[in-house]
Structure 1
Amino acid sequence: MAEVNPKRADDLFKRGLSFGQSRVICNAHWQSDVDAGRIMGAATVAKLHSNPEFLADVQAARKELESANRPSVDCTVEEQALSEQMQ
């Protein structure tokens, strides 16, 4: 996900780390399990970077996200409503 949307990479990584630590805090896993998962995840992603199908999928996902984030209607009222922040 971070490769598809690099602008959100920090948020995504922080959430992943928090989730992993929550597994330790809730006694679902040992710290060593979570640490090993991080290592395996990093190794898997490194290996995937040499896979043309994976790289094509990442590129396709980037295009899909860009398309989804484009305004779909030329409507000032809709644009104003979408710009309002929810609290």
Structure 2
Amino acid sequence: MAAPIAAAVAEVLVGAPTYAVVEVGGPEQFRLDELGRSVLDAQRDTRSVVGDPGARYFGAAVAERSLVPADGARIAGTRLDEWRTRTSNGQ
């Protein structure tokens, strides 16, 4: 997962100025509670994760899609399960 992100950052660094924020994301979207459950499951951790729709993110209220890259973002091709497989095999 790091290689595609590093490539996107390098491309922006050597390219013409964009005068804008360049967003980078992955091909999958997760709610934070889903991602937390996925991480714990992968580690065979039996703790539970409970979502709180009223929780704040660093003090700010967020909508369902607040932390999702906008249209035009650079999307890496590596899915979470692929990345986990690679990292668990030492690649």
For normalisation by structure 2, the TM-score amounts to 0.27
Q: Which has the higher contact order (CA 8 A, sep 6+)?
A: 2
Of Structure 1 and Structure 2, the greater helix share is in 1
More strand by share: 2
Higher alpha-carbon Rg? 1
TM-score (norm 1): 0.28
